[in-house]
Amino acid sequence: MDQPTVSHTSELLSDMPTTLTNCDREPIHIPGAVQPYGFLLCLDERTQRVVQASENTQALLGIPANELVGAGLEQLLPPTHLAELHALWPTLTEAPRLLGVQLHHTPNQPFYKLIVHRYDGLLWAEFEPVASNDPSVVDLGTLNTVLSQMLSATTVLDFCQHAVEQVRSITGFDRVAMYRFAADESGEVVAEAKRPDLDPWLGLHYPATDIPQQARAMYLKNWLRFIPDASYRPAALVPVRNPTTGRPPDMTYAVLRSVSPIHLEYLHNMGSAATMTISVIREGKLWGMITCHHLTPLLVSYELRELCLFIGKTFSALLPTKEQQDLHVYQLHIQKTQTRLFDQMNSSANFVAGLYQHPTTLLDVFACSGAAICFEGELLTLGTTPTPDQIQDVVAWLHQHATEDVFYTDSYARLNPAGVAIRATASGILAITLAQETNDYILWFRPEQLQTVTWAGRTQKVETKADGQIFLSPRQSFEAWKQTVENTAAAWQPLEIEAAQEIRLHIADIRLKIFNELQARATSLSRLNAELERSNDELDSFAYVASHDLKEPLRGIHNYSIFLLEDYADRLDAEGVSKLQTLVRLSQRMEALIESLLQISRVGRLDLTLVPTNMNELVTGVLELLAPRLEQTHTTVVVADALPTVLADPIRLGEVFNNLITNAMRYSNDSEKYITIGMASDTLPNFPAPEQFDVFFVRDQGIGIDPKHHENIFKIFKRLHAQDKYGGGTGAGLAIAKKMIEKHGGKLWVESVLGKGATFYFSLPKAL
């Protein structure tokens, strides 16, 4: 425990006026005076005789203090009390013990509470008058109610609210507030019970300096301080200095301890005529205080104060549990939200969408006002954030200055002066890096704390005294606090940072998974490719072997039929001869089919040799090759347009033209046939992007093709006509031609009406 130790400062100080600037060094534990509503006797531990007495004995008992010094208590108390005390002294510690006493030797024989403790080498006897409104007993029922209420509180704030309400109902103070200290020791009013006509203090913040260090240290030892009348005039000890130590006695545990004049002024400015404060201590540290104020002087009986102290200690004892509860609830919330986010990310095609496109977003994970996703050059914002440009600046700054995976600050402006511009929305920044070396971040923003304070008095003016001196007041405290927290947001809690880290890891996992899947896909693709290649090779050799092995017996059948015809013609009748001729014809047809099959199985895997090809020359060459057959069939071919140069495999393209021209020549019943070759205009339906493709056509005036067959004719071995009609091809030609064109990146299609001729079009990518 690192409690601030109270140093016994220079004695001179007690004789100097205390000001706001030196109050941190004011020796408040040795004021050498008491509040005059009661009187104090300090006794020698050994002799139990009075060493020092407060000067107000004169006023309260009619006995001057100096007359009491050196004497025992016999002149005040009857023997019964003396005997009680005598039994008590040896066991006494700094923990106070209470006796009810009647001062028999004093006029009117008043009743007093006698509070005794041992400290600083002295026995302390403090006499408090009995308040008129005292309940005769502390009621156990009340205690039970108090406790069960406290136990049932589900949040720290509820818990605070119960505590202040109980203390107010027990004591009757006009205002009871719960102050909670932040990590920087500044305070905030988090709960309040008050008279309805008073201004609320709820939400009020005040700076750490409002409660000086040595006071905080004392509050850890002495849990309850009480001032029934803040306008009192201190009653000095007689003598002020303890003869043994040569200094005023240490009043840390004294009930009547006189307080700092600064504090009294503070109370006065607050309009507080009576006050009581109870420490809330969590694990040896001052967590906060229950503070009570009254507009008029108020004497709360010692028993009731004890009850409040009990509440304070109980509160302190239960506090960790309640905070744990709060934390647990928050933790559960974070976990639940995280899980939902993770599910959303996992189920979205694009995992980033899972962070913002659903009811649950990044904003919901933990307390923040805005968030941004900066991913692959895109910027998405949620809630209240700086402008996109400002966020980009933050990201650029992070990229340079934040090397960790998780970066957080509650005051960005303190790290980067340019951050002042965005303090309203982003004083606090929590950022996670999604990828090293890139500017991929997720950021959460918290506004400047000042923007979120809801104290009703925050807009009041600062009061100053007539002579221009600052006037201590809640408003003044608030102003002072404001300056300490400018550009600062509520701090990021460890569990929030942890949650952000988990989100980062999850995203990393997802990305790794995606990467692995891609890898796996690539691997399986290359495996498939290898398999495909192998099966292609197998198919190749299958087609090859099959064609070879099929052709061999076919040749045998063919040849032997021929031999039969040649060698046995004289022994065969006409029918036998015709059957053998059919056998010869069928074997030839079979061979043609096998040959086509072999061709088509190769087309798909042909490696084209693309070269700039002058289509005019190519067509001319094809026509020269076909010239004899064209002549035979009385076919005229006209090339209608100048043809362009394209990037193509001239041999394959020649085969396509050859096939189309041959078809045009065959499928006609006219004695004179006309074929036109040319370029299609881009007004043609089905014309692909004209800036990318050239479209060629081969047009005939032949028998045409019924549109219902327009697809079929491109299927392998699909024939529309009997074998003995139109030159009887195998039905592979168009299928091969179509594949060839597709290999070139083009398309081959037909436009035709039955009986009206046909036009075959094919497109080729333009040579750019």
Partner 1 sequence: MKTSFVNPILVVEDSLEDFTALGRAFRKHALPNQLLRCEDGDQALEYLQGYGQHPDWPSHLPAFILLDLNMPGTDGRTVLDVLKHDPRLLSIPVIVFTTSANHRDVEECYRLGANSYLTKPIEYTVLEEKVELIIQYWLQASQLPLSI
* CB of residue 520 to partner 1, shortest distance in Å: 36
Amino acid at 501: Q
- Residue 150: name the closest of 167, 135, 133 by CA: 167
CB-facing half-sphere around the CA of 661: CA atoms within 13 A: 27
Distance in Å, CB of 745 to partner 1, minimum: 24
CB 425 within 8 Å of CB 447: yes
Among candidate residues 710, 689, 606, 688, the one with its CA nearest the CA of residue 649 = 606
Q: Least CB distance from residue 633 to partner 1, whole Å?
A: 23
Cβ 535 to partner 1 shortest distance, Å? 18
Could you tell me the smallest distance in angstroms from the CB atom of residue 563 to partner 1? 7
Sign of CA dihedral 256, 257, 258, 262: negative
- Residue showing tokens 């009406």: 753
CA distance 588 to 725: 16
In whole angstroms, how far apart are CA 417 and each of 133, 410, 420, 432? 60, 14, 6, 21
Complex with partner 1: residue 543 or 639, whichever CB lies closer: 543
The nearest distance, CB 766 to partner 1, in angstroms, is 30
Q: How far is the CB of 549 from partner 1 (least distance, A)?
A: 8
Of 513 and 555, CB closest to partner 1: 555
d(Cα 629, Cα 315) in Å, to the nearest integer?
112
Instruction: Report the C-alpha gap between 700 and 752 in whole angstroms.
Output: 10
CA neighbor of 177 nearest in space, from 192, 162, 157? 192
Taking the complex as a whole, the smallest distance from the CB of residue 521 to partner 1 amounts, in Å, to: 33
Output the smallest distance, CB 584 to partner 1, in A. 8
For residues 138 and 565, which CB has a smaller minimum distance to partner 1 in the complex?
A: 565
Angle at 658 between CA 656 and CA 661, to 5 degrees: 105
CB nearer partner 1, residue 457 or residue 728: 728
Q: Give the span between the Cα atoms of 158 and 142, in whole angstroms.
A: 19
Q: Which is nearer to partner 1, 111 or 563 (CB)?
A: 563
> Quick one: 337 or 547, whose CB is closer to partner 1?
547
8 A C-beta contact, residue 54 and residue 256: yes
- What is the rounded distance in angstroms from the CA atom of residue 111 to the CA atom of residue 123? 21
- Between 588 and 723, name the residue whose CB sits nearer to partner 1: 588
**Shortest Cβ 714–partner 1 spacing (Å):** 25
Burial 447-486 (b: 16+ CB within 10 A, else e): bbbbeebebeeeeeeeeeeeeeeeebbbbbbbbbbeeebe
> What are the residues binding partner 1 (CB under 8 A)?
544-545, 547-549, 551-556, 558-560, 562-563, 587-588, 591
Q: Give the nearer residue to partner 1 in terms of CB position, either 203 or 654.
A: 654
Nearer to partner 1, 189 or 564 (CB): 564
Nearest approach, Cβ of 562 to partner 1 (angstroms)? 4
Residue 558 CB, shortest distance to partner 1, in Å, is 6
Strand partners, 52: 42
Residue of 576, 588, 594 lying closest to 717 (CA atoms):
594
Strand partners, 417: none
**200/207 Cα distance (integer angstroms):** 18
Q: Give the span between the Cα atoms of 748 and 714, in whole angstroms.
A: 9
CB of 625 to partner 1, least distance (A): 18
Gyration radius from the chain CA atoms: 52
Least gap, CB of 748 to partner 1 (angstroms): 24
- CB neighbours of residue 75 within 10 Å: 14
Give 547 or 763: the residue with its C-beta nearer to partner 1: 547
Question: Closest distance between partner 1 and the C-beta of residue 352, in Å?
Answer: 52
Q: Please give the C-alpha separations between residue 148 and each of 176, 304, 363, 395, 615, in angstroms, as whole numbers.
A: 20, 19, 37, 51, 100
Angle (CA) 712 713 717, round 5°: 95
Question: Closer CB to partner 1, residue 118 or residue 743?
Answer: 743
Q: How far is the CB of 758 from partner 1 (least distance, A)?
A: 31
Residue 286 or 598: the one with the smaller Cβ distance to partner 1 is 598
Is the backbone peptide bond immediately before 239 cis, with ω within 30 degrees of 0? yes
Nearer to partner 1, 350 or 541 (CB): 541
Other C-beta atoms closer than 10 Å to the C-beta of 104 total: 13
We find the least distance from the C-beta atom of residue 599 to partner 1, in angstroms, to be 10
Q: Tally Cβ neighbours within 10 Å of residue 131.
A: 17
The whole-angstrom separation of Cα 260 and Cα 125 is 22
Which of residues 552 and 724 has its CB atom nearest to partner 1 in the complex? 552
Q: Could you tell me if residue 677 is left (phi over 0), alpha (psi between -120 and 50 degrees) or otherwise beta?
A: beta
Between 197 and 566, name the residue whose CB sits nearer to partner 1.
566
8 A C-beta contact, residue 704 and residue 664: no
Closest CA to 718 of 673, 682, 750: 750
Q: Which is nearer to partner 1, 548 or 634 (CB)?
A: 548
Question: Which parts of 571-614 fold into alpha helices (H)?
Answer: 574-603
CB 659 within 8 A of CB 734: yes
Nearer to partner 1, 105 or 555 (CB): 555
